[in-house]
Every structure is written in structure tokens, then in C-alpha cells.
Amino acid sequence: MKAEEIEKKVRDTLKKIGISKKDKILIALSGGKDSAVTAFLLKKLGYNIEGFHIDLGIGKYSEECLKKTEELCENLKIKLHKHIVKEKKGVTMCYIRAAIKSFPKYKKLNNCAICGVIKKDILNKEARRLKAEYLATGHNLDDELQTFLINLFKGSLKLSANLGPITKGKENKKFIPRIKPLYYIPEKEVLKYSKIKKLPVNEKKCPCAQKSYRIETRTLLEKYKPKEKIQMLENFVKFMEKLNIKRDKIKYCKICREPSQRDICKNCELLGVINQKVDSKIYKKTQ
Ligand code: AMP
Ligand code: ZN
């Protein structure tokens, strides 16, 4: 794909989902290529954006992510909000994960799954606090295809009911709609674009990332060309519209009152576990 094609696709995606140039969009910036390209393109297209970075406190990796994010926001002249986990929660993500996994029930939980739950909670709360109309993430076409297949293989197609470049929680005012401007851009194209535009990005993978169903699905999709993947995702979106599966009504977590699919949200469940019993040996190991 040429750079202009990518720009046109992103412009069309945003137009189709009805984002106005006046709406405040908070971009979740990880320091990686996907969110960097998202910020670059939204700025280029004239959207009203600010950046938001969660510093997870994962040693040198997180230091580099923060550095690249700061550089990107400086270059693009956008405001950057930083959320430092160690300052807000008193401990780093490494500690939080290790402490949760010290409980037999959670021993087998994937590192990325735990981190994902905690990041999602922070992002929604902070986007709301900062009065953003939308929260944008760097999810690309490959991420979305993988998610669809994972949900299909697990028999949880209901989780794909919200498939598409915008996730709304219409009846829920506490939920900030999430948008994915790179929804129809294959990962390889995002990488190419980030290189052409010489965007500051951390190319290293998170040292805590573990083998997962997602990585296996990614391998499965490797043999398809970008054009085939675009077609596949478009077909899946149409297929889901035809099925018209309704997601469960969103409730409010009984502890934190945040929007949740269950009575107690996953964030409260996991953090609640470590607040009840902290294994000081693990704390020392992860510092
Ligand atoms: P991941 O789940 O790590 O593949 O990340 C998906 C998207 O979540 C990224 O493209 C970012 O938009 C956002 N994200 C991930 N990590 C962070 C972070 N540390 N701070 C802010 N946003 C993040
Ligand atoms: Zn909760």
C-alpha cells in the first residue's frame, strides 16, 4: 500500500464512523509503532488529539517506551498525559502480575491478559476524567482478525458482536467509546509507514510477553497477503451484522461502579486479590 492509500483508508474509516474534527480524541500511546502511526495520521488529518501513556514500570523497556512517546508528542506538538503505575498504585506492573500469580487460582493467567485488564481500566477512567469524546488505540487489521478468530475458536462469538472500528457503550455514560483508526490497515503496512515517516518508536517487544493463543493465531494468518486479510475482516464484519448477535447488557461493577460485563469487574477481582494478601518475597524480587 502506498502512503496515500493508507491515509485515505484511515480518513474514510473515521468519516464513516462519524468522528468530528472538534471531538476531543485521547490516543493511547504505548511507545510502539501502531499507536505512533495512529497519532501521526490523526494529527495529519486535522483531528483534535491528545496523547496518553501508561508507564508500566517494566525496567528499561518501559523507560524506552516513555522516551519514544515523549519524542513523538513533541514532534507532533500534542499534549501528553502520563500515568505512572508505580506512583498511582504504589508498585509496578511487574509486581502486580507476580503478586496476582502467586495465588494458585491465577497461576496460569497470561501476563498480557493481566496487564490488558489493568490498562483498559486506567484508559477508560482517565479518558473520562480528561473529558475525551473518544479513546483511540493503535489496533490494526491483524490484531482485529486475530481477536475475531480467537473468539470464534473459543466459542465466544458474542464477544465479537461489537466488531468494527468503533466500540460503543451507547446506554452507558461511563464508557468512553473506543475507536481504532487503523482497523483496515495490515500490520506490515503500519510498520512500513512508521519507517517512511521516521516515527520514534520502541521496536523491542515487552520482555514480559508470554506465548499465547494470540501468537498462535498470528502465525496461522501469516500466509495470507494483506489484500486477502482486508477481505477477510470485511467479510467477518458483514457476517456479524447478519447474525445480529446482541451482547449482554453492560452492568456496573458492585465494587468500583465502572461499566462491566459481570457483577464484579475483572480489574477489581484481580487487584482485590493482591490487596488482601501481599507476598513480600515477590515484592522484593520484582524491585
Ligand atoms: P497491546 O494490547 O499491547 O497490543 O496494545 C494495543 C493498544 O493499546 C496500543 O496500540 C495502544 O493504543 C494501547 N496501549 C498499549 N499499551 C499502552 C500503554 N502502556 N500506554 C498507553 N496505551 C497503551
Ligand atoms: Zn470494579
Choice among 36-40, 113-117, 248-252, 281-285 with the minimum mean pLDDT: 281-285
C-alpha cell at 151: 473468539
CA of 28 relative to ligand 1 center, distance in Å:
6
CA of 133 relative to ligand 2 center, distance in Å:
22
Residue with the nearest Cα to atom 4 of ligand 1? 139
Give pLDDT, residue 231: 93
Closest ligand to C-alpha of residue 147 is 1
Residues with CB under 5 A from ligand 2 (ion): 253, 255-256, 265, 268
Residues with CB under 6 A from ligand 1: 28-30, 34-35, 52-54, 56, 116, 119, 137-139
Question: What order of strands is seen across the sheet that includes strand 48-55?
Answer: 80-84, 48-55, 24-28, 134-136, 178-179, 166-167
Q: pLDDT for 93-143, tens place per residue?
A: 999 999 999 989 899 999 999 999 999 999 999 999 999 999 999 999 999
Residue 253 makes CB contacts below 8 A (sequence gap 6+) with 259, 260, 262, 263, 264, 265, 267, 268
The amino acid occupying position 23 is: D
Instruction: Report residue 188 CA to chain centroid gap.
Output: 18
Instruction: Report residue 102 CA to chain centroid gap.
Output: 26
Nearest atom within ligand 1 for CA of residue 27: 12
Q: pLDDT for 58-71, tens place per residue?
A: 999 999 999 999 99
Quickly tell me which residue has 496487564 as its cell: 115
C-alpha cell at 194: 512508521
- How far is residue 100's CA from residue 279's CA, in Å, rounded to a whole number? 10
Quickly tell me which residue has 520484582 as its cell: 286
Most confident of 102-111, 157-166, 210-219: 102-111
Nearest atom within ligand 1 for CA of residue 52: 21
